[in-house]
Amino acid sequence: MEIRKVAVLGAGLMGHGITQVAAQVAKCDVSMRDIKQEFLDKGMGMIKGSLQKFVQKQVISEHEMNEVLGRIHPTLDMKEAVEDADLIIEAVPETLQIKKAVLGEADKYAKESAVITSNTSSISITELASFTQRPEKFCGMHFFNPPQLMKLVEIIRGAKTSDETVDTIVNISKKMGKETVVVKKDSAGFIVNRILVPALNEAFSLVWEGVAEPEDIDKAIKLGLNWPMGPLTLADYLGIDTTLYIAQVLEKELGAKYSPSPLLRQMTRANLLGRKSGKGFYDWTKK
């Protein structure tokens, strides 16, 4: 199945980036849908800012930037967003009830041949597929932040996902300039977060136990394991609350060894969420 039209549900941190990649690299027509005009305006502002950086670096021309913007259609109307789409990518907040409502509505208005995917980082694909009438045409399509720069897409099978659906999403991901990995079994955290989040959690435990200062933990992992940034800096980027949420999903699905560090819980309660709140392990208000 060839993907010509894409609908991205959500104009936030991930949604606007996925929209840009689909329009810029895959050259698809993209409807970007959100529930408030201010969210759409902010998303379009971030897309324009990102494209302008590509122009400044001479990666694309100003003419190409305007062509990309011409392929993006922001809308508040779900029916308008999805009715002609070949591919629908859900990128709303990582909350089951929100995803259930959005996926159910999208499924109702989407054409029969459309494939629906979720950008979830941890929720069961089989469960999300059950909110639609097309579980065989549903899978996980997990981008990484920022989607404009990060090369990987995890493609996750649900219990009923067809081979044809997986092939379609592998192909469109490659058209977007991405490298793909296929997660054969719907397991919490998929590949990346199942390995990453316990590593981040262990870094929280080192701070909680007073083993070392955050700066030294980050320095040790950057220089000792050749990570591009330390685990605590990365947690600040991802969001401390998001890290806690994924850790709780892993604990619930896979057992007590994935239990979140007390510091992870404490920082979330204190709204020390990292870059999004201004402070986490580091002060982002001055950066």
Tens of pLDDT, residue by residue over 221-246, are: 999 999 999 999 999 998 999 899 99
What's the sign of the alpha-carbon dihedral 92, 103, 164, 25? negative
**73-115 tens-digit pLDDT:** 999 999 999 999 999 999 998 889 999 999 999 999 999 999 9
Catalytic residue numbers, as ranges = 121, 142, 154, 193
Domain that holds residue 265: 193-269
Q: Do 43 and 169 fall into the same domain?
A: yes
Q: Single out the residue of 115, 89, 90 nearest to residue 100, CA to CA.
A: 90
pLDDT at 287 (0 to 100): 60
- Specify whether 83 is located in the same domain as 213: no
Shared domain for 86 and 215, answered yes or no, is no
Residue 29 lies in a domain: yes
146 and 264 part of one domain: no
Tell me what pLDDT residue 45 has.
97
Count of domains for the chain = 2
Q: Give the contacts of 252 (CB within 8 A, at least 6 positions apart).
A: 188
Q: Within 13 Å, how many C-alpha atoms sit on residue 93's CB side?
A: 9
Q: Is the peptide bond before 146 cis (omega within 30 degrees of 0)?
A: yes
The answer to whether residues 125 and 240 belong to one domain is: no
pLDDT tens sequence across 22-50: 999 999 999 999 999 999 999 999 999 99
Examine residue 281 and state whether it is found in any structural domain, yes or no.
no
